[in-house]
Chains A and B, each alone.
Chain A
Amino acid sequence: MLDAFEIVPNLPVLVVTTPLIGGILTIAMGRGKGPWAWATLITGVVFYFTVLLMQQVLAAKTGFISYELGNWPRQWGIEYRVDALNAFILLTVAGVGFVTTLYAQKSVEKEIPQDRHNFFYAVWVLAICGLLGITVTGDAFNVYVLLEISSLTVYALIAMGKDMNRQALTASLRYLILGSVGASFILLGIGYLMMVTGTLNMEDMHDRLAALPDIVHHRTVLVAFAFLLCGLGLKMALFPLHMWLPKAYTYAPSAVSALLSATATKVGIYMAFRFLFTIFGVGFSFVAMPANLVLSVAACAGILVTGVTAVRQTNLKRMLAYSSVGQLGYIVAGFSLANVHGVAGSVVHIFNHAVMKGGMFMAAGAIMYRLGRCDLRSIRGLGKRMPLTMAAFVAGGLGLVGFPLTAGFISKWYLVQGALEAPHMWPVAAVVLVGSLLAVAYTWRVVEAAYFQEPEGESALVTEAPLSMVAPMWILIGASVYFGVSATFTGEISMRAAKSLLGGAP
């Protein structure tokens, strides 16, 4: 039966169906370490598949791989379409997903009741499945269906922080309400577009929209555009629609915060790429419509406001959450420039921020694991007690600042270059620099507390976090340093993705 089956041609669908079937089977893995080991296996296999897929995409002559589900022609069925951009995002999501699953074991053991680890890891793997599914597809409605899965699972995962702090429940509910509003806007936008074009395939949609006479005055298209921008803004936590994010990341279980900060909002930004660049096209989104103005103003305001807010936080996780909103601002500011360097900066920062912030949330989680809390007061003198964890945090912080030889430097290099190339966009470059100074300020507060203050109370007695937490943390932080020193791979992929986005359909 298996002689006709080959893995390589089916890679696009295997990336999503492996975690789907694997996630459901996680429930059957009983108690103890079974569910965790199974989830690690599944995410590991998926990561391997995304690596293979990346190779295939780079080798493909057309620059993309198309997979028609059920063998129906793409205009009638659903098409998976993988180009440099989504292969890169898939690699990021699956890679960080795998490493955070490795990390999760100890942290989840402590924070989630033992008797529901199987359900927890099932939802965890399904969340990764949803995020990968959004990224791999070339069908606008399929995006929405997978968005439902990723949203629903993420609400549940955040709410599981309830055993540490009851506020997790309200944080999750708030996200549920705002997330549902966002998803409704996205659905309405897709519906309006379908009504005008008669198709759901992204590329087909683009062609049909381009064929419409006088699209700039087509009222249905305009409303669809506005709705999609609103919905995507909520989903990617674009300032000022980020209200759900800080609390959600603060009260979620540590492993969940690490996973979400690195993947969930990134996939939101990926959706924005697809809708703004692939479906509407650069000409409509950024020339005919003022999306570049709206997005860059919101992004710059977000960088500054959340930067200042982050400096004033005392809880490490909350500080990181605000910093995330600011960092998402960089990504949005980058692609709102609509030139090659700006978009490439965005794409590369999606990856760079994922590894840096993922690593930093892991460090905060390790502190939580040892101390049960992670505020500035409790980490005093921790630089000596938990040297590896604190060093990881500081290395990640340097990346957020954009220090040379870290991945953050590469992203900011592209962003500033893009901002200076675009006409009248130099303020974006200025904001990027001011944002870096703010990052210096909040990272320094941690350095000061951890290295220059004497430990007090129980924090004087703690020891380094277990290896199973420190190792994954350093894999991500190490990646952020590695790709800061040698940015050939990430840089080339991002440039390629940017060029294909700006050239219209992938």
Chain B
Amino acid sequence: MRARSLLAVVLIGLAAASVARPAAQALRAAAPYAVLSADGRATVAAVTAGDQEMLRLDELAALLQLTVREDRAAKALTVSRGTSVVVLSLDQGLASIGGKILSLSAAPVRDGSRWLVSPDTVNRALAPIAGVRMEVRRASRLIVLGDLRVPRISVQQEPGGPPTRVAIDVAPRAAYTIVQEPRRLLVRFDADALDVGPISSTSGLVQSITSDDPATLIIALDRTVGTFRAATVPVDAATSRILIDLAAAGAPAPSPSGLARAQPPPPLVPAAPPPAAMAKPEAVPALPAAQPPGVRTVVIDPGHGGDELGTKGAGGVLEKDLVLDIARRLRTVLDSRLGIRVLLTRDDDRIVPHDERASIANNNKADLFISLHANSSPSASARGAEVFYLSLDGLGAEARRMVESPETRPVPVLGGGSRDIDLILWDMAQARHLSESASFAMLVEEELRRRIEMGPSPIQQAPFRVLVAANMPAVLVEMGFLSNPEQERQLTSDDFKNRVVQALVDAIVRYRGRIEGQAVSRLP
């Protein structure tokens, strides 16, 4: 009986595994991709698996000198070139490069003894280890290797006329010349090749438009064509449009003003800066004097907001509303009684991304960052406030290195010479303020403890997202548990809110006194 149930487990597992495997999908041959490189042209075979187009990994590996190894036990493909390695999951569209995960549109698919990979796997997972620039263009079934210039070209003949007008979009922009030969125009681009998209049907004075090597469009003309005019207009930052107007022999020449509606063609290469811009300034502006330490600006961060409700109390109280109310009360007291400039990361009910919350503090040179939250636990009995500062757990070795040996680098300053500046990775700015954050957290905890109930671990470190990028001492205060019905009632009372506000005000005053005192004691 036991053996039978074990067998059933194994069979169910096998059935689930076979359903989950994308290789079970039928593969159909598709048109190959052309590969353009400095060595010439090649092709890579492609197939479709369901809706997903896939490329032959062995052919890509041969082109890029990649080594592919299947690890059946780990259900992964390891693709390497020298010491660069990418691991592709065989279960789902995931890849890992140097400890960083990538989401891909599809996992590799087995086709007999070969493997197939999606175009975005090539662009995002293989290109970084290939050591050459590499771009897969799905629309044109083209893979560009190396620093080749291969602009995308789309051609349309505009209806109406005369004059007959041909519009050629070029992205990225490329310089060109137009040569008129008997019964044809040659548009030669300053490029290594062209990626020519669909060409609309031609009529009137244009008989056909085709592409030819090297990087040339050939516009075959009716024998009645007499003259042409061309102009270039910008479409967007990367794309330019070449307009070519054709007129029959004997007809008036196309008006230059009609072309491009008098817009001047954009420069194909950025203009050199005017010499004046290079002139040395006559006076060197003084660097602003460093301000003495103090607490002039505090950023209060009411957690969550908008569709991101935070947690919800048993009685329906929303964390996002509660913390905004307390943040506003705190601002009023700090501003009116202490004259401290207070900024809220949100003053209404909206979503604010975590990085934007830190940016508000960093860009305003805040001296303290306080994030306000209310908590929730699976246990209704959980209660008490907690004060958090950042733990570096989630940031890896780089953040620890920044704390242990902050790096400085000389940068040139106006007027000659250089000065050292600290190199701060924006994403880890909090790492160098941890000790100050810890001492501020202790003050906040002491002041809260005098007024409200604290949890069993009142000061903790956690890898909290909103604290990571704050470039000043920063804490996150969990004021109590909305999941506890009794605490929910407390948290929403005016008395409780005012106690929290007074505790934070007193903690800020004590912190300010401490750092100003330190500054005074350092004076000779």
Asked if A pairs with B, the answer is no
